[in-house]
Amino acid sequence: MTGTLFDDRYLIDRLIARGGMGNIYKAHDTKRGQIVAVKMLRSEFDDDAVVLKRFLREAHAVQNLHHPNICQLYDIGCTREKIHYFTMEFLEGDPLDKILRDKRMLPPETALQYIMDIAAALCDAHNHNIVHRDLKPANIFIVHDADGKETAKLLDFGVAKLQEELSDPGQKLTNAGSTLGTPFYMAPEQIQGFEVDGRADVYSLAIILWECLFGAPPFLGKNIIEIFSAAVHQKLPKMTRAYRASRKWRSIYAVLDKALKKEPKNRYDSMQSFLRALEQVRSEITPGTANHDATKTSSLPLIAIIHNISPLKLVLFGSIAILVIGAIISTIYLMIPKQVEIPQTQSGSYKFFSDVPADILIDDKYLGTTPYRAELYNVPPFKITFEGKDEYEKTNFVFDVDNYPEGVAGYAVNFKGSQAVRSMIFAETTPEGADIYVNDHLYPLKTPCQIAVSTSKSVKLTFKLKDYLDENITVKTHGGELRLHTNLYPQ
């Protein structure tokens, strides 16, 4: 359609997006004299009354909403050829799902600002008795203005419903027991086909905030059944002790924990209440406020103590301290062996994981088939190769081992990749509750949890749990999912 004059008014520039019901084009509105986005119902739905009603419902739902954080609707129309469409403001920026694919996690201040923008938009929608029901990162657009300021805008009310329609069985567009939405972000009551209200949007928006902060939604699975089961039954993953020591993260987690309760009655009672809680957290963590992380300490008490000691006593204490420290250093030096030889018979503990059975070769010699664990006496450097079997027989992953492992070394691969820019790792340990380090950086959540990683290079995951050996697992993926379950070794 590029270059055509649509409905004698809109000069089509290019296709910018494909949705579930329609295609969206950038166009010049010759009547308004401005650039707009034109969403057209696809031709295959011309005779589908249900889809047409849903398409028009999105237009009419947004028509009366005039909020700076909602993509504004201009006109609704139908051409002589019976092509239904509506026009919206054209936005310059990126959808949130693309930003998360590129950055994986966002700073708390940025994530909170995005979510507060959308919460404010939803307050307006809820005040008009409209429940969105399909919140997800793809429906949030981050707009950049000329000054570099970012604003989040809410899109796509195609699954939205008026509150009176939700409570009137005669007005239902979907069949009883059916669900509409995106699995990762759906509230438990929506998954189970129960009636929903604004608290379902609170839940979904909190899931998006969780993904912005931790890199993945809290409840995942290999298929839609597992995802739904996790959302309905699983507990929220816990933060690590180091993160719990931070007042900032405790405050954020407390808000998320309340917003993600399984029962709607236990969540924030409205989007307005959720927004106020987010604003309170943001005010606590904004630089320059009186609140600080609990992990930071002050040096003023020590300075005061030193100030109150007389100069003579200070010199005496200092001399004694120097003598004691010197004696300790001398003792330690004498205890250190002057030369350490690593015996060539040293062994290392290794574990091997993959999403489908694969042969493991050490310097091209067969060792076993995944999942596999072994004590190896091979002296580094040596090469580990994962060879695919059956339909993956031409796919290999190779790791170069240059040093003896510290603790337990592991290697993991996934053959069933999707060529996506991110892979999802389901990290589980027995026992549960291990801290996770991703490329030596502490991850906010304990096991079991999900971790989104880049597919462009290998990733090192380190599992640490008191009274158990550390495990360092190097992962190579090319998209898709990998379930990593390891039994930790006692010390």
Q: DSSP alpha helices (H): ranges in 310-399?
A: 311-335
* Token pair for 454: 């880049």
Q: DSSP alpha helices (H): ranges in 234-310?
A: 241-244, 247-259, 271-285, 300-308
Q: 432: helix, coil or strand? A: coil
What CATH fold (topology level) applies to the domain 5-89? Phosphorylase Kinase; domain 1 (3.30.200)
In this structure, which amino acid lies at residue 46? D
pLDDT of residue 173: 39
In angstroms, the CA 379 to CA 399 distance is 15
Instruction: Tell me the per-residue pLDDT of 367-392, one tens digit each, with 9 for 90 and over.
Output: 888 988 888 887 889 999 999 877 77
pLDDT of residue 60: 82
Q: 88: helix, coil or strand? A: strand
In this structure, which amino acid lies at residue 151? T
pLDDT of residue 209: 98
Q: 421: helix, coil or strand? A: coil
Largest Cα–Cα distance in the chain? 99
**Is 15 within 8 Å of 23 (Cβ atoms)?**
yes
* Token pair for 245: 């020591």
Nearest to 459 by CA among 423, 485, 487, 426: 423
Q: 463: helix, coil or strand? A: strand
In angstroms, the CA 431 to CA 409 distance is 18
Instruction: Tell me the per-residue pLDDT of 35-57, one tens digit each, with 9 for 90 and over.
Output: 999 999 988 888 888 888 888 87
In angstroms, the CA 62 to CA 68 distance is 12
Nearest to 427 by CA among 276, 215, 274: 215
Could you report how far apart the first and last alpha carbons of the chain are, in Å? 67
Q: Alpha-carbon Rg of the chain, whole angstroms?
A: 29
Share of the chain above pLDDT 70, in %: 81
DSSP-assigned letter for residue 468: B
**Ramachandran area for residue 300 (φ above 0: left; ψ -120 to 50: alpha; else beta):** alpha
**Is 242 within 8 Å of 172 (Cβ atoms)?**
no
pLDDT of residue 154: 95
pLDDT of residue 4: 93
- CA angle, 233 as apex, 250 and 154 as ends, to 5°? 65
DSSP-assigned letter for residue 397: E
In angstroms, the CA 59 to CA 68 distance is 17
Residues β-bridged to residue 400: 383
In angstroms, the CA 432 to CA 468 distance is 12
In angstroms, the CA 281 to CA 198 distance is 21
Phi, psi of 159 (to 5 degrees): -105, 5
Among the listed residues 117, 124, 134, 470, the single catalytic one is 134
Structural domain boundaries in the chain: 5-89, 95-166+182-285, 300-335, 348-487
In this structure, which amino acid lies at residue 198? G
Contacts of 298 (CB under 8 A, 6+ apart): none
Question: What are the residue ranges in the chain where pLDDT is below 50?
Answer: 164-179, 288-309, 314, 336-345
pLDDT of residue 166: 43
In angstroms, the CA 475 to CA 462 distance is 11
Q: What is the pTM of this model?
A: 0.71
The answer to whether the bond into 431 is cis (omega within 30° of 0) is yes
What CATH fold (topology level) applies to the domain 95-166+182-285? Transferase(Phosphotransferase); domain 1 (1.10.510)
- 134 catalytically annotated: yes
pLDDT of residue 53: 84
pLDDT of residue 231: 94
